[in-house]
Amino acid sequence: MSDIPLPAQFRHQMAQQLGADYAAFLASLQQSPPISIRVNPQKMALPTADLEPVLWCSEGFYLPERPVFTLDPLFQAGAFYVQEASSMLVAEALRQTARLKRPLRVLDLCAAPGGKSTLLASLLNADSLLVCNEVIRSRIPVLKENMEKWGHPNVVISNHDPEDFKSLNGFFDVVLVDAPCSGEGLFRKDPEAMLEWSPDSVVFCAARQQRILTAATPLLCDDGLLLYSTCTYNDEENSQNAAWLSKHGFENVPLDLPESWGIAEKTLDQTVGYQCYPHRVTGEGFFLSVFKKKQRSSPEMGVPRSFRSLKPVRNWQEKILKTFLKNSDAFSFYVKPNEDVFAIPETLSADLRVLDAALHNKGFGLEMGTFKGDDFIPSHALALSNALAENLPGIELSKEDALRYFKKENLVLNEPVKGWLLARYNGLNLGWLKGVGNRVNNYLPKEWRIRMDIKEY
Ligand SMILES: C[S@@+](CC[C@H](N)C(=O)[O-])C[C@H]1O[C@@H](n2cnc3c(N)ncnc32)[C@H](O)[C@@H]1O
């Protein structure tokens, strides 16, 4: 399949790790990677009855072949996320170990591009808080776009080094460290990853993961859950870091996974982790281990009385804003110094004030839009939000017109319309249009515009 040869030391390592299974492992690397998606339970528009399910995630499905996702309006609307199947194991791990019916404070510490964050958003109770953090600034836009498409208003996106979270010690119920790793599990899907692999890079990744885990562990409350995952097979990273956690105040939590799923158990110093191999599961390489915090040391946290740089909106503005939301009394509305208007879920106000004081580079709440004089210009995030009112005017587009919408073309309608309209496809909101006579202006943000030629599809 790939012209890039497997590194010799990697072959040696896997032969030792897999023994009699090594030949089957090598053969699986010659096969095409399976294509899988996870549907958005808040935006059920994709028929899944004929699709093969992912065994460990009720919202995960395999596709018979890879379509051009960019040219699928349902993908652009956030109806599904394209996610490698093995990594959906996080869903089963949380289902078995976390109290998902309760509101939880959850941190996805290494979040971009947002695969696990969208999964977490779907799993959590509606009053939960999800902080999606990514240290590399250039990866924030894709994370933000994916979270906006997913549509949950209870999300904070931050751009910090894990060590910057220090003042939030004891704050979170769940922390996911989906750590940057040597990427051995992606060699089939992304052969270029082999070019970056070396024994030295494994040592570097293992040490970096330990640094991230060292910063992550104090952030958990008593009995809080830490999920550590990678997309590698390397024991120097996976098992050794998992065993290290067991020696540093964490109790390893075993999962009950049916043998028929084919997921291997790996144990080092009585610490168990779960490894997906491509010759045993329909998916790529992935490792996961779950821990519960043993120490009893959660500090009391002061809650600031107000947000640092947000001001409440005016009453007349609030009246307009409320017409756009389903459950509008559940939100309070604020304006930023740059005039952007936000809706903040009341239930999370105290938590968000704590985060506001603790983190500098972050965005939270539902981005509503801006006021230009008396006019309100709704944001694209609002159009895609699950909190948007259902009775707003909209227009159902054909697939061709939906794609023209994503090309940012202006559409011509048969009937004249005036004011804000939602562009819809299969009942899902795609974004805003504004009617001016027979023409409707297209308010898709230019950075969301698709560049592909839509003619051939
Ligand atoms: C495996 S990827 C995360 C994938 C993501 N969780 C998902 O499911 O879409 C690891 C992430 O860690 C970030 N990262 C790299 N170095 C880091 C560091 N020193 N501390 C924290 N995160 C780091 C990378 O930028 C990358 O986005």
Regarding whether 344 and 423 lie in a shared domain, the answer is no
- Which CATH number covers residue 17? 3.40.50.150
Question: Would you say 127 is a known binding-site residue?
Answer: no
Q: Return all residues near 427 (Cβ < 8 A) that are at least 6 apart.
A: 45, 396
Regarding whether 310 and 172 lie in a shared domain, the answer is no
Instruction: Evaluate whether residue 3 is within a structural domain.
Output: no
Residues, the chain? 457
Mean pLDDT over the full length of the chain:
95
Ligand 1 centroid to 139 CA: how many Å? 9
Instruction: Evaluate whether residue 436 is within a structural domain.
Output: yes
Read off the pTM: 0.97
**Ligand 1, atom 7, residue with closest C-alpha:** 115
Atom of ligand 1 nearest to the CA of 181: 1
Encode pLDDT of 62-87 as tens digits: 999 999 999 999 999 999 999 999 99
Ligand 1 centroid to 362 CA: how many Å? 17
**Ligand 1, atom 27, residue with closest C-alpha:** 112
- Going 369 to 394 to 433 to 430, the CA torsion angle's sign is positive
The answer on pLDDT for 226 being more than 70 is yes
Question: Would you say 161 is a known binding-site residue?
Answer: yes
Instruction: Evaluate whether residue 2 is within a structural domain.
Output: no
Domain boundary among 384, 413, 430: 384
Q: Quickly count: other Cβ atoms within 10 Å of residue 299's Cβ.
A: 12
The answer on pLDDT for 457 being more than 70 is no
Regarding whether 257 and 161 lie in a shared domain, the answer is yes
State the chain's maximal CA–CA distance in angstroms.
Answer: 72
**Ligand 1, atom 2, residue with closest C-alpha:** 180
Ligand 1 centroid to 35 CA: how many Å? 22
d(CA 128, CA 357): 19
d(CA 192, CA 183): 10
Residue 231 annotated in active site: yes
Tell me the percentage of the chain whose pLDDT exceeds 90.
Answer: 89
Regarding whether 433 and 328 lie in a shared domain, the answer is no
Regarding whether 287 and 406 lie in a shared domain, the answer is no
Instruction: Evaluate whether residue 324 is within a structural domain.
Output: yes
List 181, 221, 231, 276, catalytic entry: 231
The CA–CA distances, whole Å, from 409 to 102, 159, 285, 369, 381 equal: 44, 33, 41, 21, 19
Instruction: Evaluate whether residue 25 is within a structural domain.
Output: yes
For residue 392, give both structure tokens. Answer: 């707003």
The answer on pLDDT for 1 being more than 60 is no
Instruction: Evaluate whether residue 341 is within a structural domain.
Output: yes
**417 sits in which H/E element:** strand 411-425
The answer on pLDDT for 60 being more than 60 is yes
Regarding whether 340 and 233 lie in a shared domain, the answer is no
Q: Return all residues near 372 (Cβ < 8 A) that are at least 6 apart.
A: none
Regarding whether 287 and 217 lie in a shared domain, the answer is yes
Query: In 3D, which of 42, 219, 46 has the Cα closest to residue 122?
Result: 42
Question: What angle is formed at CA 171 by the lines to CA 165 and CA 172, rounded to 5 degrees?
Answer: 95
Instruction: Evaluate whether residue 102 is within a structural domain.
Output: yes
Regarding whether 97 and 19 lie in a shared domain, the answer is yes
Contacts of 445-448 with CB under 8 Å at 24 or more apart are 445/380, 446/408, 447/141, 448/76, 448/145, 448/380, 448/406
More confident call, 410 vs 43:
43
For residue 52, give both structure tokens. Answer: 């093969």
Encode pLDDT of 353-382 as tens digits: 999 999 999 899 999 999 999 899 999 999
Question: Would you say 374 is a known binding-site residue?
Answer: no
The three-state secondary structure class of 95 is helix
Ligand 1 centroid to 87 CA: how many Å? 14
> Residues 401-428: what's their mean pLDDT?
91
DSSP for 399-415, written as a single string: HHHHHHHHTTPPEEEEE
Ligand 1 site residues (CB inside 6 A) read 110-116, 134-136, 139, 162, 178, 180, 208, 212
d(CA 4, CA 338): 49
Mutate to test the pocket of ligand 1, among 57, 117, 135, 237 (most ligand atoms within 8 A of CB): 135
Regarding whether 259 and 344 lie in a shared domain, the answer is no
Encode pLDDT of 290-320 as tens digits: 999 997 666 778 899 999 889 999 999 999 9
- Which CATH number covers residue 443? 3.10.450.720
Question: Would you say 249 is a known binding-site residue?
Answer: no
**Ligand 1, atom 16, residue with closest C-alpha:** 180
Query: In 3D, which of 211, 251, 239 has the Cα closest to residue 110?
Result: 211
Domain boundary among 342, 363, 384: 384
Regarding whether 365 and 272 lie in a shared domain, the answer is no
Encode pLDDT of 192-225 as tens digits: 999 999 999 999 999 999 999 999 999 999 999 9
d(CA 284, CA 277): 6
More confident call, 455 vs 164:
164
Count Cα atoms within 13 angstroms, Cβ side, for 143. Answer: 26
Strands 375-378 and 35-39: unpaired
The answer on pLDDT for 18 being more than 90 is yes
Query: In 3D, which of 186, 162, 184 has the Cα closest to residue 172?
Result: 162
> Residue 371: which domain range?
302-384
- Give residue 309's pLDDT: 82
Regarding whether 366 and 217 lie in a shared domain, the answer is no
Q: Can you list the positions of beta strands (E) in 146-249?
A: 155-158, 172-178, 220-230
Mutate to test the pocket of ligand 1, among 94, 108, 110 (most ligand atoms within 8 A of CB): 110
More confident call, 309 vs 182:
182
Question: Would you say 49 is a known binding-site residue?
Answer: no
Domain boundary among 351, 384, 417: 384
Ligand 1 centroid to 77 CA: how many Å? 25
Question: Would you say 178 is a known binding-site residue?
Answer: yes
Instruction: Evaluate whether residue 356 is within a structural domain.
Output: yes
- 29 confidence band (pLDDT: 50, 70, 90): very high
289 contacts 93 by C-beta, under 8 angstroms: no
Give the chain's domain count.
3
Regarding whether 202 and 93 lie in a shared domain, the answer is yes
The three-state secondary structure class of 105 is strand
The amino acid sitting at 393 is: P
Atom of ligand 1 nearest to the CA of 231: 1
Ligand 1 centroid to 325 CA: how many Å? 33
For residue 220, give both structure tokens. Answer: 């958990």
